[in-house]
Amino acid sequence: MDSILNVEKFSIEKLRNLISKDTTVNKRLLINKYIWGYFREYFSKVNSKTMIVENVYIDKDYLEDYSSYYVRCFKLYERRCRRIHFFKKISFTKDQFMNFLSGDDKIITQKKLQKHYLGFIVIKPLPDTIFGRTCLVTYPKKQNRFYPIIREYKVNLFGINLIIESLAFQEQDRIVAACATSALWSVFHGTGILFHHEIPSPVKITESATSLSPMETRTFPNKGLNGEQIAHAIKKVNLEPFSIKVKNDPFILKSNLYAYIKCNIPLFLGMQLINIDSNINDVFGSHGVAITGYNLSDKKPDAYSKTIKLRASRINKIFVHDDQIGPFARMEFGNQTIRIKSIYGKAINNTNEYYNLTTSWINNSHKPNKVLAIPLLLQIPLYHKIRIQYEIIQEIIVCIEELIGPLILEGPFKERFNEAFEWDIYLSPSNRFKTELFCERNKITIDLLTNPLPKFIWRAAALYHERKVIEFIFDASDIDQGDIFICPLIYDVNFARDLCKISLLPNLDKIIRFKPAYEIIHWFARNKKIFN
- Any residues with CB less than 8 A from the CB of 307 and at least 6 apart, and which? 398, 401, 402, 405
Are the CB atoms for 495 and 416 separated by under 8 Å? Answer: yes
Are the CB atoms for 190 and 174 separated by under 8 Å? Answer: no
Is position 70 within any domain?
yes
How many angstroms separate the CA atoms of 185 and 234, rounded?
10
Counted residue by residue, the chain has a size of 532
- The pLDDT assigned to 30 comes to 87
Looking at the fold, whether 139 and 79 belong to one and the same domain comes out as: yes
- The pLDDT assigned to 476 comes to 96
Helix/strand/coil for 24: coil
Domain residues for the domain of 495 are 390-531
Looking at the fold, whether 450 and 493 belong to one and the same domain comes out as: yes
Looking at the fold, whether 331 and 474 belong to one and the same domain comes out as: no
Helix/strand/coil for 332: strand
Looking at the fold, whether 394 and 377 belong to one and the same domain comes out as: no
- The pLDDT assigned to 221 comes to 41
Is position 178 within any domain?
no
- The pLDDT assigned to 243 comes to 95
Looking at the fold, whether 378 and 398 belong to one and the same domain comes out as: no
- The pLDDT assigned to 223 comes to 53
Report how many domains make up the chain.
Answer: 3
Q: How confident is the model at residue 178 (pLDDT cuts 50, 70, 90)?
A: low
Q: Which of 107, 137, 167 is the last residue of a domain?
A: 167
How many angstroms separate the CA atoms of 181 and 242, rounded?
17
Identify the bridge partners of residue 294 per DSSP, sorted by sequence position: 146, 318
**Overall average pLDDT of the 422-449 stretch:** 84
Is position 262 within any domain?
yes
Q: Which of 350, 365, 382 is the last residue of a domain?
A: 382
H-helix or E-strand spanning residue 45 = helix 35-45
Q: Which of 104, 132, 167 is the last residue of a domain?
A: 167
Question: For the whole prediction, is pTM greater than 0.95?
Answer: no
Exposure letters 373-390 (e unless 16+ CB within 10 A, then b): bbbbbbbbbbbeebbbbb
Q: Is the pLDDT of residue 2 over 70?
A: no
Residue of 426, 62, 377, 385 whose CA lies nearest to 238 = 385
Tens of pLDDT, residue by residue over 271-306, are 999 988 777 888 888 899 999 999 999 887 766 555
How many angstroms separate the CA atoms of 82 and 98, rounded?
19
Q: Is the pLDDT of residue 448 over 60?
A: yes
Looking at the fold, whether 413 and 378 belong to one and the same domain comes out as: no
- The pLDDT assigned to 368 comes to 67
306 or 182, which is more confident: 182
Looking at the fold, whether 257 and 364 belong to one and the same domain comes out as: yes
User: Which CATH number does the domain housing residue 371 bear?
Assistant: 3.90.70
Q: How confident is the model at residue 220 (pLDDT cuts 50, 70, 90)?
A: very low
What is the rounded average pLDDT for all residues in the chain?
87
Is position 352 within any domain?
yes
Q: Which residue stretches of 343-502 are H helix?
A: 390-409, 430-440, 446-450, 493-502
245 or 349, which is more confident: 245
- The pLDDT assigned to 222 comes to 44
Lowest mean pLDDT among 203-212, 237-246, 382-391: 203-212
Looking at the fold, whether 509 and 424 belong to one and the same domain comes out as: yes
Looking at the fold, whether 38 and 142 belong to one and the same domain comes out as: yes
- Any residues with CB less than 8 A from the CB of 196 and at least 6 apart, and which? none
Looking at the fold, whether 357 and 492 belong to one and the same domain comes out as: no
Q: Determine the straight-line distance between the first and last CA of the chain, rounded to whole angstroms.
A: 79
Identify the bridge partners of residue 271 per DSSP, sorted by sequence position: 287, 375
How many angstroms separate the CA atoms of 499 and 471, rounded?
13
Identify the bridge partners of residue 117 per DSSP, sorted by sequence position: 87
